[in-house]
Amino acid sequence: MKTIERSLFKGRDFISLHDFSQAELSCILDVAKELKADQKARRPHTVLQGKTLGMIFTKSSTRTRVSFEVGMYQLGGHALFLSGRDIQLGRGETIADTARVLSRMVDGIMIRTFSHQEVLDLAEFATIPIINGLTDLLHPCQVLADLMTIQEHKGRLAGLKLAYVGDGNNMAHSLMFGCAKMGLHVSIASPQGYKPDPLIVAMAQEDAKNNGGLVEVVDDPLEAIKGADVLYTDVWASMGQEEEAKVRKAAFEGYQINSNSLKLANQSAIVLHCLPAHRGEEITDDVIEGAQSVVFDEAENRLHAQKAIMALVM
């Protein structure tokens, strides 16, 4: 990696895609592409040799844990898994104290948690880079991998239309930010009562205006899907919302990516899903296993995108 690229990001937090310019996100994606090519060619990178990433998990995960842990190993560093049972946060120690202590022992912190405020507090008191592995508000690492996947399969980002069908959740929020910054037209279709945060929508629309994109929120999933180059969905009930599953299932009836959806999209449209998927609910089995699905390329790209983030900020 070029030294100039690393100098632009060294020591910065990675909390929201809104915090980065189009040029900066393009740079991260370029580094991710380079790291992926080198990994496939078995050309090692040891830019983080001797460094340690502390990984705080209050929400369990498959892709987040494996991608960050393997990524640190491939970059020559070490990852330390810290669950709520392993550290004093689970027994009432403050975020501020945890941030100060870990800042003296590790070189970066990735946190996957419920409250977005916890990430902001960690960043305020830490003196090392903080990476947002997921909160109930945002999921920037996933969307960086999504943008990488779209770029790989479409050859570009600007000017494409992405239709997101489902809950106006952390995925919808980060997709709006990421697509707006990179000049995409993103159309979010969510039922009443499950719309994305109006403040996030307004911020993303301002980003879109400045970067040649478009952000819209609609009620009708078919309206969003029409003419789309990328179809995207997520589970109707996320982690921590299990008790709402029955109510949500009724509210999201019709908000599904299926074979009929594909007919309304562009013929060459690709299908994305952040996983895990509830097949038969937000997406049908034939679509996720179909020729237009790139969800497992997308899942793999979590590794490469996050390696780029870590290599740059740490």
Q: Mind telling me the catalytic residues?
A: 112, 139, 142, 234, 274, 302
Is 27 marked as a binding-site residue? Answer: no
Residues 6+ apart with CB under 8 A from 139: 132, 170, 171, 173, 174, 274
Is 302 marked as a binding-site residue? Answer: yes
Is 179 marked as a binding-site residue? Answer: no
Is 173 marked as a binding-site residue? Answer: no
Is 139 marked as a binding-site residue? Answer: yes
Sheet with 214-218, edge to edge strand ranges: 214-218, 185-189, 161-165, 230-233, 270-273
Is 274 marked as a binding-site residue? Answer: yes
Is 210 marked as a binding-site residue? Answer: no
Is 140 marked as a binding-site residue? Answer: yes
Is 238 marked as a binding-site residue? Answer: yes
Residue 282: C-alpha distances to residues 139, 142, 165, 235, 267 (Å): 19, 18, 8, 6, 21
Tell me how far apart the alpha carbons of residues 286 and 304 are, in angstroms, rounded to a whole number.
27
Is 62 marked as a binding-site residue? Answer: yes
Tell me how far apart the alpha carbons of residues 77 and 297 are, in angstroms, rounded to a whole number.
25
Task: Give the residue numbers of the binding site for L-ornithine.
Answer: 170, 234, 238-239
Task: Give the residue numbers of the binding site for carbamoyl phosphate.
Answer: 61-64, 88, 112, 139-142, 274-275, 302
Task: Give the residue numbers of the binding site.
Answer: 61-64, 88, 112, 139-142, 170, 234, 238-239, 274-275, 302
